[in-house]
Structure 1
Amino acid sequence: MNIRYAKPIDKEQVVSVWNYCFEDGEDFVKYYFENVYDENNTIIIEENDEVLSALQLNKYTIDLRDNKYDVSYVVGVSSKPEVRGLGYMKHLMAYTLEELYKNGEIVSLLMAIDYRLYKRYGFDHCYDQIQYNLRTDELLGFRLSSKLRKATFEDAETLSRIYTKAMESLNGYAVRDEAYFNRFIKEVSSESGYIYIDEENNSYIAYYIQGDTFFVRELIYNNISSLKSMLAYIYNHNTQCKKTVINAPVDDKIKLIIANLKTCEIKLIPFMAGRVINFEKYIESLNSCNIDTQKINNKYIKIKVIDKYI
């Protein structure tokens, strides 16, 4: 068993393992491995020149309590079926966590398919989403206040500006620049989705039409008026899409303005798991806390942290 960072020659095998493990469409896989994948952020286990397990450490910046952290988002954790249950994932995750620590990272994130798989490595639930399931005609009462237009690659800066404005009062969000939205537009397009912008109201919507369902991946707005206008845009698909599903942050305001919540199913969906990589640096990074001088009732606090993997 040899654990190492991937080389360009490994890419085809990494794609093959990914395709075996995940049910992503051909267009999305093509998009991902042409626009996101980086062998320098990919860790593999190989034996006899055969890639048996792999994961990627995609780079993001998050804003957490007004501090910016460069984080690795762990994705694509995958193994060939013949090595499952033999401890390969344990070796892969242990190596990865040590690498993140050595690289100076303070926190890490992942989207867990099964939380039980990652709790043993120190990851735990930290973010939820709300999911609305409703009949599209329940949005009858809303009216468009301006005309939306389809986003193009020329709109990456506009999308970034709208998003950043909407996030400025929140905590724990991903920082998204123009380069991110260039990739985002490509990603949504690769999954046959759409992005429409209401520039007058500083809002945008990213969605997919899946059979008779209007599926909203992301709805970003900066005031209630713009939200109402976006819900009207969704309603205007009511003859085409009988059902609407909207994924939204937990502080979303849709539940406050829908006419009849009784006909709307609202689910709390576990969304993201996180882990502190370097506890000491994390505590030091908090503006309100200094671990050398903080006192409670005139007594010093000492904290001992035991990490089985770092």
Structure 2
Amino acid sequence: MTDVIKELGNGSLEEMYALATYAFNSQDTEERRGRFKLIVENSWNYGFLDPEGHLTSQVMATPFSVDFHGKTYLMAGIGYVASYPEARGQGGINRIMEKILEDCRERNVALSYLAPFSYPFYRRYGYEQLFDRISYELDSRDMPAVKKTTGFMKRTTFEESVEAIRSIYANMPESKRGGLVREDWWYSYKFKQREENHYALYYDREGNASGYVVYKLEAPTFVIVEMGYLNHEALRGLMRFIGSHNGAFASFEYTCGFSGHSKNYLLDNPFAKTTVTPYMMGRIVDIEKFMQTYPFEQDINFVLHVTEDPYAKWNEGFFDITYVNGVLEVKKVQQTELPVVSGTIQSMTQLLLGYQTVEALAFHEKIRVENKLIAELSQALPSQQPILNDYF
């Protein structure tokens, strides 16, 4: 008998949970069991089994849709990467990741995200830093005094607010920069199964919900879990509601996806401590499939050259990209006389998803690009930094 890579069914739930609990030194609670069961039921679960058939390593790939500037892509979220200590260094995770990338390509998955314990470790699989997040910490004495709005706030339950949260989130521009298209089960996993969460909605004067806040009361700190709003009035209503707690809390904290700019300037006294940190990594799983519906912003014709992708060799090579009058064509070619942009799959992921500009990547020699193509790419590619407000 030999070691085996196997896609696990729900019947392996207990064995998977035991491995995850041990590997992450987690406490076994009913809440944690419930959340684990829910994500297992909605994921492709891979295991590395020893010759006796015991699970020794595992990786979970959860299929999501993401919205990238109006285009919807399938994305595999990698999580619960775990091994028992005696199995580490034996190649189990390596073989699982190789299998996952192959299966993702067959399942028409164009992208993959993950939360790294080590950036260098996951770079070997073609992943690269793709998202940042920003944390705000504000003393209660510095909370702004926000003028009353024409609408009103209402504290609610998850069940009462979930439809409004779903609608507001889906219509926020920040959700369309590589963020998840959240399904019903994900709202339950992310919010409902966190018993400490509180919910409140902002309604405009017509009675339409246009803002929401999910928060925790962790004295002495008021923690904003997530906040969404469709206009400035809704933001003011939310901030007025949050600020009304300043008599009971010494400080306020809020962490969210980083858009490239701090919102500290909106405060009367911009004393909030802001910290920008690296967040999740990502990679393009299938460059040809990804480019076939890419949201170009102007006409362009060039060749994209992926120089290196050891775990997804199908991405290596030259791809002729033509976008003219709204018609996009992508084909793999052997040679070209068109201007070329070259780089590894990591650099191409950062470039094409907007995490870094073509000028910055070229300056730091992460890509090679002809000078005449730099200006064209800069105008044709979406330039806003991708944002992710989820974790898996």
TM-score for both structures, normalised by structure 1? 0.87
Cα 1:274–1:36 shift into 2, 3 Å = same
Distance 1:277 1:22 in 2: 27
Cα 1:96–1:302 shift into 2, 3 Å = closer
In terms of mean alpha carbon deviation, does 5-14 or 143-152 score higher? 143-152
Q: Which amino acid aligns with 1:42?
A: N
The answer to whether the 8 Å contact 1:101/1:278 transfers is: yes
Q: Which amino acid aligns with 1:303?
A: H
Q: How many residues matched?
A: 301
Deviation at 1:253, TM superposition (A): 6.7
Cα 1:105–1:282 shift into 2, 3 Å = same
Q: Which amino acid aligns with 1:50?
A: H
The answer to whether the 8 Å contact 1:139/1:232 transfers is: no
Q: Which amino acid aligns with 1:240?
A: A
The answer to whether the 8 Å contact 2:153/2:241 transfers is: no
Match of 2:241 among 218, 233, 239: 233
Q: Which amino acid aligns with 2:244?
A: N
Match of 2:17 among 12, 15, 25: 15
Distance 1:39 1:45 in 2: 20
- Tell me, which stretches of 5 or more residues in structure 1 are unaligned? none
In the TM superposition, 1:1-310 aligns within 5 A as 1-22=3-24, 26-38=29-41, 41-47=44-50, 48-143=52-147, 145=149, 146-167=152-173, 170-189=176-195, 192-200=196-204, 202-251=210-259, 254-261=263-270, 263-288=271-296, 295=301, 301=303, 303-310=305-312
Deviation at 1:124, TM superposition (A): 0.6
Q: CA RMSD in A?
A: 2.6
Identical-pair percentage = 20
The answer to whether the 8 Å contact 1:20/1:80 transfers is: yes
* Higher Cα Rg, which structure: 2
Q: Which amino acid aligns with 1:176?
A: R
Q: Which amino acid aligns with 1:193?
A: N
- Tell me, which stretches of 5 or more residues in structure 2 are unaligned? 313-392
Distance 2:154 2:12 in 1: 44
Cα 1:57–1:199 shift into 2, 3 Å = farther
Cα 1:141–1:304 shift into 2, 3 Å = closer
3-state secondary structure, aligned to 2:116: coil
Deviation at 1:203, TM superposition (A): 0.8
Alignment-derived partner of residue 347 in structure 2: none
Cα 1:221–1:253 shift into 2, 3 Å = farther
Distance 1:254 1:228 in 2: 13
3-state secondary structure, aligned to 1:172: strand
1:60-96 deviation line (CA, Å, top 9, x unaligned): 1101132101111111111111112333221221221
Distance 1:169 1:124 in 2: 21
Deviation at 1:123, TM superposition (A): 0.5
TM-score for both structures, normalised by structure 2? 0.70
With CA pairs under 8 Å and 6+ residues apart, which has the higher RCO, 1 or 2? 1
The answer to whether the 8 Å contact 2:59/2:93 transfers is: no
